[in-house]
Structure 1
Amino acid sequence: MGSQVDRRVTVGIVADPGVPTEIAERLAEEVPDQLRSRVSEDVDWRVLASSEELPLGDDGTIDIAEKAEEKGRSEHWDLLVCLTDLPRIEPAGAVVADADTSSGAALASVPAIGWIRLLPYARRVVVHLVGLLARGTLGIASDRERDGYHSGAWGVFGVRIRQVRSSEENIDSNLVLPGRVGRMRLLFGMVRDNRPWWLVPGLSRAVAAAAGTAAFGVFFPSIWSLADSLAPVRLVLINLFAVAVMVGWLIVHNSLWERPGGGAAVHKTRMYNAATLLTVSIGVLCMYVLLFGLTALGSATVISPEYLSGRLGHPATPLDYLGLSWLASSMGTIAGALGSSLETESAVRRATYSKRERERRARRRREQRESGQA
């Protein structure tokens, strides 16, 4: 016989579109069992997921108390957990989550949760937050304290998360990843959330220009001889130079680099710029790998081993094909970089957090003006 259920609690998870929504939909299925085993068996836990862009105020914060009140009226939710794709950086470290027991609401930052095994870590954070809210808002005592879910410090992905009292208004406590390790985890999470490999479709013109130049290298024997004479170290340097040229051009041409402000905004701006640099670099590297694969396939198809051997003056090997493809791809990347651009607005938004944040603030102000006029 199972234990008698004393009450029903409905937990709503409101998530930003994209990765947070994907996580929320999975958590809605998995978290009820975790809450029964980790928080209380005497509660019938219902977890519902909703996808909507969380409004951002002029101060860069999300008013979870307002959202909890709204959802409480419209959806009759008892507790609210918001999942956002926007990061939060404080001098003490990366902020994983905030909790406000007075309103029964919490906010978790998906980039700060992690970049590998994201779902298990997100589940652990959400269960922890619901436990805090259930105890502080609804008076439900946890019967699973032994696991450390509600203690002052606990671990996620090998880093100790500290639960600290918040100095912010309407926030009781913060979950913080302290120090440089926490900031690095946040940075990798931001890059993962940007999904840099999706930048490649936004570089179609650059890919076309690069492929045309790389084809030149495949068809002209002088490039074969040059590639054969270059040491692997020099080919690596040419490769890195080509990628750096394209990354630099894309960042400057699309105005992706943020100028640091003053005070606490410096940490945030540096993190945003680092995430942009890594995102664009990985996207360009993905483009380079695609170009290299196409060039290698083309060279193997067009150039016979006998003809290549005659031009090089020694028997041709697979390494010779790889070398000329490598040099031709680097040449193509440099040619494709100059004048290239991220061709869609979604590609620009994906490359930088700051632009998405400004857009959300602008939408919030516009909605407030429209509601005031109404």
Structure 2
Amino acid sequence: MTQTIKVGLVAAPGVSKNIATHIQDDLSNELAQHISQDVEWKIEIVADPLTGSAENVTEIFQTISNYQKTNEWQYTIGLTDLPLFKNNKVIAIDVNRDNGASLISVPAYGWRPVKKRIKSSIIGVVEEVNKYQPNKHNAEQSADKDRAQQQTEDKDQSQSSEERLTHQFPLSNLEAHTDFLEDTNSKHRRYFVSSKAKGMIRLLSGMTFANNPLNMVSSISNVLAVAFTTGASAIIFTTLWNLSYLYTEWRLFLMMIVSVLGMMLWIIIAHNLWEPIRHSKDKRITKLYNFTTVSTLTIALIFYYILLFTFFLLASLVVLPPGYLGSSMQLGGSATASTYLNLAWFASSISTVAAAIGAGLNNAELILESTYGYRQKQRYKQIKQQERQREKEEEDVEERGNS
């Protein structure tokens, strides 16, 4: 009878859960290929809000350890979308050497290709746990092996797991350190991004990816519609043509920056997206959340502006014939491509300002869900609701027992 090895993935809701679900089938096959083909690898996924809300890693390790005991998982890996630090260095992987419970910080893996790296890291973590808890999945078979042969295999596995975990990124590697954590009363093998600067850049890009900027694009579709309607009615007037022709590219560029920043400030202020730093328990984390909100909005608004610019360019090409536009602007000939580009550029900036003032968001909830601070609050609320529900069920059981 084939032995079944259960690997549990405790993922934070959202991006981390999606990654776990996406790699579930491939992970079973790759574990069989890299670890052992003599067993059946079963991947089980649990979504837990605490994995994505507890800024103290001790609580996360306690949670995933409880899942490990309850579900009788041989290997347990938590996938969090929270940033992890030690001495200003970004932690990508944290392995508890005593019980094998491990934690992977998804944002530390950057923008792309996250799924491939996470899958490789999980395989490396399983190999790493086997170093500290030898023959965990194959104790009976290993007992009969020659001791020298077993030592050689352990050494090869040690080199394999270390290399797999440290060589994740093309421009910088991870470096491993062993620390004793008093909170968990155990030794941890931690993998840091070797460069502080590169680690922060990768972390910010990963946190921005976790925020899913495309959600914000869909939520500002109503603003896009208002902006295009406002600008479309203005491109038939000669004032807009003449100003777009007179303005230099630098002035048009400056107007674009001002209009996009104005839109960003309006969204942040109108929806209280800025996390107050003064009363924050961890100012560094709060600053990261705010910076990530800005970077997410920036990407979303770049997409918005490109779409709006494309619409105006197509509209001006359809509505305004080159000969008529050139004669009306006294160009001495037909309008050129640069004339249309500048006109669309100018109309996009002007209409963005008007839309930011007068338009509402199509789905404000999507904007809020695309920020770390809001997700944290929602997850804490969900945890408290679960605790109240659990307490109520226990009280009901106790009342029925007394009666």
Task: Output the TM-score relative to the length of structure 1.
Answer: 0.88
RMSD in angstroms over aligned alpha carbons?
Answer: 2.7
2:213 counterpart of 1:205: no
Deviation readout 1:119-157 (Å, 9 max, x if unpaired)? 221122111212222332454474643755236982221
Q: Distance in 2 between matches of 1:173 and 1:273?
A: 30
Task: Output the TM-score relative to the length of structure 2.
Answer: 0.82
For the 8 Å contact 1:92–1:176, the answer to whether it is kept is no
Taking a change above 3 Å as real, the CA distance of residues 153 and 120 of structure 1, as seen in their structure-2 partners, is closer
Q: Distance in 1 between matches of 2:355 and 2:69?
A: 53
Give the structure 1 partner of residue 189 of structure 2: 173
Give the structure 1 partner of residue 276 of structure 2: 259
Give the structure 1 partner of residue 342 of structure 2: 323
Give the structure 2 partner of residue 48 of structure 1: 43
For the 8 Å contact 1:13–1:47, the answer to whether it is kept is no
Gapped runs of 5+ residues in structure 2? 137-152, 395-403
2:162 is aligned, of 141, 146, 150, to 150
For the 8 Å contact 1:32–1:47, the answer to whether it is kept is yes
Q: Distance in 2 between matches of 1:42 and 1:302?
A: 66
Deviation readout 1:235-286 (Å, 9 max, x if unpaired)? 1111111111101111121111112257981221121111100101111111
Q: Distance in 2 between matches of 1:35 and 1:262?
A: 46
SS at match of 2:167: strand
Instruction: Please show how residues 176-325 of structure 1 align to structure 2 within 5 Å.
Output: 176-178=192-194, 179-261=196-278, 265-314=282-331, 315=333, 316-325=335-344
Q: Distance in 2 between matches of 1:305 and 1:42?
A: 69
Which one has a bigger Cα radius of gyration? 2
Give the structure 1 partner of residue 121 of structure 2: 125
Give the structure 1 partner of residue 27 of structure 2: 31
Q: How far did 1:216 drift?
A: 2.9
Taking a change above 3 Å as real, the CA distance of residues 196 and 335 of structure 1, as seen in their structure-2 partners, is same
After superposing the two structures, state which structure 1 stretch, 87-96 or 226-235, moved more.
87-96
Q: How many residues end up aligned between the 2 structures?
A: 368
Q: Distance in 1 between matches of 2:67 and 2:95?
A: 17
Gapped runs of 5+ residues in structure 1? none
Q: How far did 1:228 drift?
A: 0.7
Q: How far did 1:13 drift?
A: 1.9
SS at match of 1:162: strand
Q: How far did 1:195 drift?
A: 1.7
Q: Distance in 2 between matches of 1:340 and 1:51?
A: 40
SS at match of 1:86: coil
Give the structure 1 partner of residue 87 of structure 2: 91
For the 8 Å contact 2:6–2:44, the answer to whether it is kept is no
Taking a change above 3 Å as real, the CA distance of residues 349 and 130 of structure 1, as seen in their structure-2 partners, is farther
Taking a change above 3 Å as real, the CA distance of residues 11 and 58 of structure 1, as seen in their structure-2 partners, is closer
Give the structure 1 partner of residue 64 of structure 2: 67
After superposing the two structures, state which structure 1 stretch, 94-103 or 322-331, moved more.
94-103
Q: Distance in 1 between matches of 2:309 and 2:373?
A: 32
For the 8 Å contact 1:25–1:49, the answer to whether it is kept is no
For the 8 Å contact 1:89–1:268, the answer to whether it is kept is no
Deviation readout 1:337-364 (Å, 9 max, x if unpaired)? 1254544354233331111112212221
2:176 counterpart of 1:163: yes
Taking a change above 3 Å as real, the CA distance of residues 125 and 298 of structure 1, as seen in their structure-2 partners, is same
Q: Distance in 1 between matches of 2:311 and 2:163?
A: 54
The one-letter amino acid paired with 2:216 is: L
SS at match of 2:233: helix
Percent identity for Structure 1 against Structure 2: 24
Q: Distance in 1 between matches of 2:64 and 2:158?
A: 32
1:351 is aligned, of 361, 366, 370, to 370
Q: Distance in 2 between matches of 1:342 and 1:89?
A: 35
Taking a change above 3 Å as real, the CA distance of residues 345 and 175 of structure 1, as seen in their structure-2 partners, is farther
Instruction: Please show how residues 6-17 of structure 1 align to structure 2 within 5 Å.
Output: 8-17=4-13
Taking a change above 3 Å as real, the CA distance of residues 43 and 8 of structure 1, as seen in their structure-2 partners, is farther
For the 8 Å contact 1:202–1:343, the answer to whether it is kept is yes
Q: Distance in 2 between matches of 1:13 and 1:279?
A: 27
